[in-house]
Chains A and B, each alone.
Chain A
């Protein structure tokens, strides 16, 4: 089975080149001005060929919450968003804190066959924040990134031990930064809006205290630390300082924290409830600047599907989270003027390195390289319609919005998994 991508600009190490790409046996077999016919032909007119996107932060909900998403539906959503690898967050039920659960998640990903599902492991047993998970066993089973996402590890002594333990294993610890005693009952950012609405606020401080603590712990232990979904200007400042010291720290930001503000909560629509919460315009500006200057390494979705009945609960009871996989590129390009190379760096090359999968993903196209690619139109405008989404849930805040930038085709392991926006299986 061979595939040819024609008439596109290919983003290579040498720059953007107008080349046809021919794929065979799961690798890029040929790149040239005119490659021979293939079994499957993809038109790349007006498009760029980029390495397939890598999401550091996807909640696929399986096992445990299959009514909101399954690994198959989440994979399909990911493939439609141009992703060829998703790091699956461990807040499943049971949690991803044991080898059998990790194997199950990976196997379900292989069964779906639309992209690579990369299971993350828990830092603590059951994400309960009291005892370390069997990190060495999990690492031996191939887990490279560990997190208790959904909550942060509260106890500084436990986090210190996790970092010390992780060093020898060569793994990365990804922190959800939230000092939970400062966010009890929080519904949204602590701001004039939360004061007006009479709801408990989630202060920026709750994130920044933990960012600061973990920077200091990383300094002490030398562990590799990744900060999930940074949302405040203060966090960007702290990470920028830490990176200047040469600490092995990385960070991500979500498309929604780059595009939506706290003011949207005035509608009381729980689709805008997310954790960490939407923040101010000033925070958005700082996050954008941090992304552009490399303080923030990656864009990650925090794709968090929820069934409608849960999102229809009163705002203070509705679960936080919003979809992200299928709208990530469009949202990012609608709010930031990025070059195709910058998109490749932020959504593929750097996240692949952080996830420890850089030998299979996140490589700019070259002959002999892995055929994990996406073909994107950087300028195409499209309207988000929940009915056309592949995700099992519909909790996207972008319904009806016109986005700029769309994924046209996705090739995973040499197979066309999305063609003209449609998933092939």
Chain B
């Protein structure tokens, strides 16, 4: 695999391999000193044109645990604020010896564009409302652990919120269905993409209709700007229709799994405190974030054969 840009490009085999590899990485993370020399001499550059806390920290931690060098790039303190073009930035950093760019950008498609200008591997850490593949792999791993089965046949996944503007939703719908889940989306019509009819999902407009039969409840973050754009009448109306209230939480199956990609909007989509919710796997998602991103970096940057070697070493 050269790049990780979308779940579609990754494909089902690639997804399964990364999930498998991530469980080995989790073993490393449970060691007293969670660090292996696997990527010594490799340089990973995080290039975040959009703010991020968890994704960025998670990738940087993953890179360090694999002993890669990390370079970090922040738009506000770099030449980008002096008007440097995306292409010039990529070419310049490439010549510093980058092996991998971890990129987040507010525009869909940027990971594909920059791949033309560098030989380094590209990891899409979120492009516009398009894709966020590493998050989807994290979420698949979290569901796997929670339901304790590798495939999701017969599992009802319900994704709630701003599907239209969500890269997490796009990546997760593809990944969950690839593993066999039935995906239902719940949202006001104004927060659905125009042609969602072409997607492999069932659309419902009332969370109350599906909450009791949901195995995996995935709450999306609602950006307050959606209200300014007139897509919803008010945050409180949204919260009452589509938020996870205590009342709704009580209707969840005890075996259900509740997830959120963060950062949470308490009082909007999340009315209950996740720490009061036995079904919450939100902290598990964060923990898995590091293992999955280690697996991704390793897959992109290690030489062939090293994976097997690492797995053997881990199992030994």
Q: Which A residues contact B (CB, under 8 angstroms)?
A: 187, 190-192, 194-199, 201, 203, 267-268, 309, 312-317
Kindly state the separation between the CA atoms of A314 and B90 in the bound complex, as whole angstroms: 13
Instruction: Give chain A residues whose Cβ lies under 8 Å from the Cβ of B199.
Output: 195
Query: Which chain A residue lies CB-closest to B112?
Result: A268
Query: Which chain A residue lies CB-closest to B199?
Result: A195
Can you report 5 residue pairs joining A to B where beta carbons are below 8 Å apart? A190-B194, A194-B195, A198-B170, A199-B109, A315-B109
Assess A192 versus B109: contact at CB under 8 Å? Given A198-B167, A199-B128, A312-B87: no
Kindly state the separation between the CA atoms of A197 and B129 in the bound complex, as whole angstroms: 7
CB-based contact B109/A197 at 8 Å: yes
A198 smallest CB distance to B (angstroms): 3
CB-based contact A314/B110 at 8 Å: yes
Instruction: Give chain A residues whose Cβ lies under 8 Å from the Cβ of B85.
Output: 309, 312-313
Kindly state the separation between the CA atoms of A314 and B165 in the bound complex, as whole angstroms: 17
B175 smallest CB distance to A (angstroms): 14
Q: Which B residues contact A (CB, under 8 angstroms)?
A: 85-87, 105, 107-110, 112-113, 128-131, 165-167, 170, 193-196, 198-199
CB-based contact B107/A316 at 8 Å: yes
Kindly state the separation between the CA atoms of A133 and B155 in the bound complex, as whole angstroms: 64
**Extra 18 A-B pairs, beta carbons < 8 Å, given A194-B193, A195-B196, A316-B128:** A192-B198, A196-B198, A197-B108, A197-B130, A198-B108, A198-B130, A198-B165, A198-B193, A201-B194, A268-B109, A268-B113, A309-B85, A312-B86, A312-B113, A313-B85, A314-B86, A314-B110, A316-B107
Interface of chain A: mostly helix, strand, loop or mixed: loop
Kindly state the separation between the CA atoms of A312 and B107 in the bound complex, as whole angstroms: 13
Instruction: Give chain A residues whose Cβ lies under 8 Å from the Cβ of B110.
Output: 268, 314
Instruction: Give chain B residues whose Cβ lies under 8 Å from the Cβ of A309.
Output: 85, 87
Interface of chain B: mostly helix, strand, loop or mixed: loop
Partner of B129, one of A192, A199, A314: A199
Partner of A317, one of B107, B131, B194, B196: B107
Instruction: Give chain B residues whose Cβ lies under 8 Å from the Cβ of A194.
Output: 193-195
Interface centre among A187, A194, A196, A198 (most CB of B within 10 A): A198
A377 smallest CB distance to B (angstroms): 35
Kindly state the separation between the CA atoms of A316 and B106 in the bound complex, as whole angstroms: 9
Kindly state the separation between the CA atoms of A313 and B128 in the bound complex, as whole angstroms: 14
Kindly state the separation between the CA atoms of A268 and B110 in the bound complex, as whole angstroms: 8
B245 smallest CB distance to A (angstroms): 29
Instruction: Give chain A residues whose Cβ lies under 8 Å from the Cβ of B128.
Output: 198-199, 316
Kindly state the separation between the CA atoms of A192 and B170 in the bound complex, as whole angstroms: 13
Instruction: Give chain B residues whose Cβ lies under 8 Å from the Cβ of A268.
Output: 108-110, 112-113
Interface centre among B86, B105, B113 (most CB of A within 10 A): B113
